[in-house]
Amino acid sequence: MNRRSFSTCFLLILYLISLHHHLLSASQFEGFDASEDDDVSDDSSDLHHSLPPPTITQSLPDPQPSSHDSTSDQSHPEPPQYSDPSSTTPFDFWDEDEFEGLPVEEIEAIDSPPTPENATETVDPETPQDTTAPSEKKKKSYAIEIGCVCFLIALGINYIVGKRENESLALAWAAKFASKDTIFHKNFSLLGVGDGVESPLLLKEALNVFKFYASGRRYCHGLLATMELKSRHDLISRVFNLVVPCKDEITVEVYMNEEAMDHVVFAMAKKKAAKTMQKEVKDLQRFAGIVSPPAGRKWVSEELNVISESKEVAGDLITDTVLDQVFGDKAMEKYGKNFMSMHISDQHPGKHRKMMLFKFSLPDAKHMDDIVRLVALIPYYIDLVGRYRLSSQARNKTETGRQKAAEEAYKELQNARQEALQKKKAERKKLMEEAEAKLSAEVIRKKEVKERARQVKKAMPKIKMSRGH
């Protein structure tokens, strides 16, 4: 009895050891942890037969178990099951050459001929087959690529369309104001950016920047109109412009002759723009201030603010003609919608001191007539400012102001020069000190010896030597 119980106990221990060894060998497969294997049932018959026969196919290198699986793994540590159609094994990687530990019936199952086509497969009704998974996975994996390629195509199409739109807008402006028998043609003898007769009217500086040049007119050197259009060719900018809207703008710079223009600093703009101009533009900041509307006289629309050096200049430059045509209350609603600002100054910072600057927003190509009156202001103001002369009283005022400004500028220049000199001196000193520091100790010692010798020589009494005859 005792012996029998011992033998059964021994057999049981052997069985447990063999089972444990088998489980350890199973944990060597990738995708399994030894910790997971501890809970596998002790029934050895289940161990082999519960595994379905593996098909000899290469499994996907990076199978991604769903989040649902990963959460269930934590609560029930079981070997993970993949819905990978290519591999029916529960292993992450199946090696075709690895047949160790396979039961005989499984090898036979692999070697057995495939079932005929007409044979119906026995499908377990409880486990529905996941047929949609591979197509979904493919769609998911190529979503980024499809999206990016589509976006690149959209960029290309938008580039072509936007470029064409901008060009047509610029050409519409040129056709309206710079072609034969138009306003610029009647006012300037040279139109276009080239030297020759057949040179282009517009210069394309960028896909959204076009320039037009005109010259050969009294009172001015020339005129340069710069059209800064929306970046229609750029899809990202176009989307950004939907959020933060901006307008197509045209800036007209008129370079006045030195002798033609008197001391004039004057600007007019919409109220917000006028305030920023007065703060930011140097000459307006220094010489001009916002002018209050005069009593008993027609004045500009309430939307606008006038900045001027003196009331006299403002009154002389805002004529009744201008008020009736553009800047009056009634005319502003109809014709002045696209007006942004104008700036006339003889103290312009830059190469050309005497300059007039007009800024308008551009309508679309079909509505170019909307800015006809605004463009007509340009030659009107060239003549008006060219002929304009200040009264002696106002002139004295402006001259003193300009003298002060010139003195300040000169002082600033002097200060800058002095600062530059001081910097140079400091740098030289630094260099000298560095050079001295670099000298070796021996050289310094030699210098000191020489210096001492010189000092001793100086200290010695001077003895006159006389030759004895």
Partner 1 sequence: MSHSHGNTPSANDPRQPSAAKPYTPRPIAPEDLPVDYSGFIAVILGVSGVMFRYKICSWLALIFCAQSLANMRNLETDLKQISMAMMFAIMGLVTNYLGPNRPATKK
Of 9 and 155, CB closest to partner 1: 155
Distance from C-alpha of 108 to C-alpha of 114, rounded to nearest angstrom: 12
Q: Return the bridge partners of 138, or none.
A: none
Q: What are phi and psi of 360, to 5 degrees?
A: -130, 155
| Residue among 1, 2, 30, 74 that touches partner 1 (CB under 8 A) | 30
Name residue, tokens 């609603």. Answer: 333
Cite the DSSP H helix spans in 327-371: 329-335
Shortest Å distance, C-beta 67 to partner 1: 14
Of 241 and 301, CB closest to partner 1: 241
100 is an interface residue for partner 1 by CB under 8 A: no
206 is an interface residue for partner 1 by CB under 8 A: yes
148 is an interface residue for partner 1 by CB under 8 A: yes
Of 31 and 315, CB closest to partner 1: 31
Q: Are 145 and 337 in contact (CB under 8 A)?
A: no
Q: Are 207 and 228 in contact (CB under 8 A)?
A: no
Query: How many other β-carbons are positioned within 10 Å of the β-carbon of residue 4?
Result: 8
336 is an interface residue for partner 1 by CB under 8 A: no
Pattern 341-380, binding to partner 1, x per CB under 8 A? --------------------------------------x-
242 is an interface residue for partner 1 by CB under 8 A: no
Of 165 and 234, CB closest to partner 1: 234
- Each as own residue / partner, the long-range contacts of residues 160-165 (CB below 8 Å, 24 or more positions apart, any chain) are 161/232, 162/207, 162/231, 162/232, 162/233, 162/234, 162/235, 162/238, 163/207, 163/232, 163/233, 165/232
| Residue among 107, 190, 416, 432 that touches partner 1 (CB under 8 A) | 190
Shortest Å distance, C-beta 212 to partner 1: 9
| Residue among 15, 24, 25, 33 that touches partner 1 (CB under 8 A) | 33
Name residue, tokens 């209350």. Answer: 329
434 is an interface residue for partner 1 by CB under 8 A: no
Shortest Å distance, C-beta 148 to partner 1: 4
Give the angle 161-164-166 at the CA atoms, nearest 5°. Answer: 110
Query: How many other β-carbons are positioned within 10 Å of the β-carbon of residue 419?
Result: 10
Encoding tokens for residue 218?
A: 């009294």
| Residue among 57, 72, 88, 215 that touches partner 1 (CB under 8 A) | 215
Q: What's the maximum distance between 2 C-alpha atoms anywhere in the chain? A: 152
155 is an interface residue for partner 1 by CB under 8 A: yes
Distance from C-alpha of 355 to C-alpha of 253, rounded to nearest angstrom: 7
| Residue among 204, 221, 286, 402 that touches partner 1 (CB under 8 A) | 221
Count the residues of the shown chain that bind partner 1, applying the rule CB under 8 A: 56
Shortest Å distance, C-beta 344 to partner 1: 18
Query: How many other β-carbons are positioned within 10 Å of the β-carbon of residue 365?
Result: 15
Q: How far is CA 167 from the centre of its chain?
A: 24
Residues 6+ apart with CB under 8 A from 322: 377, 380
222 is an interface residue for partner 1 by CB under 8 A: yes
Q: How far is CA 187 from the centre of its chain?
A: 41
231 is an interface residue for partner 1 by CB under 8 A: yes
Shortest Å distance, C-beta 197 to partner 1: 6
Q: Are 344 and 283 in contact (CB under 8 A)?
A: no
Encoding tokens for residue 325?
A: 């045509």
| Residue among 97, 145, 259, 442 that touches partner 1 (CB under 8 A) | 145
Distance from C-alpha of 38 to C-alpha of 20, rounded to nearest angstrom: 9
235 is an interface residue for partner 1 by CB under 8 A: yes
Instruction: Considering only the stretches 1-9, 141-149, 239-247, 408-416, report the one whose residues sit in contact with partner 1 under the rule CB under 8 A.
Output: 141-149
| Residue among 4, 39, 45, 62 that touches partner 1 (CB under 8 A) | 62
89 is an interface residue for partner 1 by CB under 8 A: no
459 is an interface residue for partner 1 by CB under 8 A: no
Residues 6+ apart with CB under 8 A from 444: none
Of 77 and 315, CB closest to partner 1: 77
Per CB under 8 A, which of residues 163..182 are in contact with partner 1? 180
Name residue, tokens 């312009």. Answer: 348
191 is an interface residue for partner 1 by CB under 8 A: yes
| Residue among 82, 91, 173, 188 that touches partner 1 (CB under 8 A) | 188
Q: Are 346 and 264 in contact (CB under 8 A)?
A: yes
Q: Please give the residue ranges that form the binding site for partner 1 (CB under 8 A).
A: 30-33, 61-62, 80, 92-93, 144-145, 148, 151-152, 155-156, 159, 180, 185-201, 203, 205-207, 213, 215-218, 221-222, 224, 231, 233-237, 379, 382-383
